[in-house]
Amino acid sequence: MNTSSFVLFFALIVLVSLNSVNATLNKPSSLISNNFSSTSPSKSKLHLGDTKETNYVTKKQSISIEKINSIMGGAEKQVALPDSVKLVIGAGGIYAAFLYYGSLQEDVFRYVASDGTQFKQAWFLQVLEALANVFVGFIGLQLTGGSKGLPLKMFALSGTTQVSAKAFTSLALANGLSFPVATLAKSGKMVPVMIGSLLLGGAKYTVREYLQVAAIIAGTAIVSMGKKKGGGPSSSLGVMFILLSLVADGVTGGVQKKLKASAAANGVKPKPYDFMFWTNLFMALAAAVVSLGLGEVGTGFNYITANPEILSKIVKFALCSAAGQSFIFFTIANFDPLVCTTVTTTRKIFSVLLSIFLKGHTLSAQGWGGIGLACMGILAEMESKMKGHKKQM
């Protein structure tokens, strides 16, 4: 994607963000009428004494309000897009942003400088990515207004676990794990959740759920072992980091449930941009602390300034992350959350296939069999969610 295409892509993001903000606010024009009618004539700055004159002003206000409502209603009809167009924008935006995001992430950790060094500063990368999301989240908060009484301690914990999961994934890539294997492995997020629930007790899963998770795990393992010679074996360190990422994902799921419960107990319902801003703010802070402790800020900054090619990739990587979040909010604001889940789930499969075909990965017949098995597990899990959602309706 060249610079001009990227600028056009972000122009679309601005429009999408405004649309999602409008859908989030969802304030009908009748509220304007209520605000006007709540104004008492006795408290008016005109201090009219004549009743007829007051009635005249009230009628004039009523006529003005009708005109405003008529104009706003007409504007809404002109601006309104068909659901099919909104779905294309939302799903297309998620695919475009995150497919390019995945491609850039792989490029960053496969990049080799002229002196033979590679980029290894995963925590520094997370600082930059989180800051891009903070910027977009801040704009969203200014437009929609933030919620008061949020459980910021829970947001801090959620941000810390989320950025850890992302950093561990990047570290897995930096330590030899191929992008297709890492992406398939990340699709098995239910594994740590199921293990934790079983250990704590009280959880029950169906045979199908066990088979779905087993298919993803087995398929990922087969892909990892089914690479042709020359592809480079996945390092044990890379596997360790992807397992840590899955554990962090499992912890994040539990923390987010507690976060929502804590907010509900306080009578607060966080808005989408509350989540985006506060979570990413704490993600940036946590990543910055770790990055400073490991000395990655200095080495990372020196590396990207010495290699402008990777700098442009990292900037686009961070912006794609923020763009993808904007399209996710747009899709959730206009459709059922399950639609968004379906799009993001299938996106992972396409990311794996694109990486294989475009990045020079070579798989044996055994490896392709593993891809098929893992994809079956992912799609089966998605189908289960759809059936469960229909039963709740």
Domain boundary among 24, 58, 75: 75
Mark whether 51 and 174 lie in a shared domain: no
Mark whether 147 and 59 lie in a shared domain: no
Domain boundary among 75, 98, 120: 75
Which of 1, 30, 36, 190 has the alpha carbon at shortest distance from 107?
1
pLDDT of residue 200: 58
Mark whether 221 and 321 lie in a shared domain: yes
Mark whether 212 and 263 lie in a shared domain: yes
Confirm whether 199 is domain-assigned.
yes
Q: How many helices (H) and strands (E) does the chain have?
A: 15, 0
pLDDT of residue 287: 98
Handedness of CA 29, 34, 37, 42 (dihedral sign): negative
Mark whether 264 and 312 lie in a shared domain: yes
**One-letter amino acid of 54:** T
pLDDT of residue 124: 97
User: What is the rounded distance in angstroms from the CA atom of residue 377 to the CA atom of residue 186?
Assistant: 13
Confirm whether 322 is domain-assigned.
yes
Domain extent at residue 43 = 39-75
The pTM score is: 0.74
Both tokens assigned to 3:
């610079």
Confirm whether 17 is domain-assigned.
no
Domain boundary among 49, 75, 101: 75
pLDDT of residue 380: 82
Predicted confidence pLDDT, tens digits, the chain (393 residues): 554 455 445 445 545 554 554 554 444 433 333 443 343 434 444 444 444 444 544 444 444 445 544 544 444 444 577 888 888 999 999 999 999 999 999 999 999 999 999 999 999 999 999 999 999 999 989 988 888 889 999 999 999 999 999 999 999 999 989 999 999 888 877 777 777 666 655 667 788 888 888 888 888 888 877 665 444 555 789 999 999 999 998 888 888 888 888 888 888 888 888 889 999 999 999 999 999 999 999 999 999 999 999 999 999 999 999 999 889 888 887 887 678 778 888 888 899 999 999 888 888 888 889 888 888 888 887 777 666 655 555
Confirm whether 24 is domain-assigned.
no
pLDDT of residue 196: 66
Confirm whether 228 is domain-assigned.
yes
Mark whether 50 and 96 lie in a shared domain: no
**One-letter amino acid of 174:** A
Mark whether 62 and 193 lie in a shared domain: no
pLDDT of residue 118: 94
Mark whether 69 and 88 lie in a shared domain: no
The length of the chain is 393
- Who's near 22: CB < 8 A, 6+ residues apart? none
pLDDT of residue 136: 92
Confirm whether 362 is domain-assigned.
yes
Mark whether 178 and 274 lie in a shared domain: yes
Total structural domains in the chain? 2
Confirm whether 1 is domain-assigned.
no
- 44, containing H or E segment: none
Chain centre to alpha carbon of residue 218: 27
Mark whether 48 and 154 lie in a shared domain: no
- Who's near 324: CB < 8 A, 6+ residues apart? 93, 94, 97, 98, 101
pLDDT of residue 79: 54
Confirm whether 344 is domain-assigned.
yes
Mark whether 256 and 141 lie in a shared domain: yes
Mark whether 247 and 306 lie in a shared domain: yes
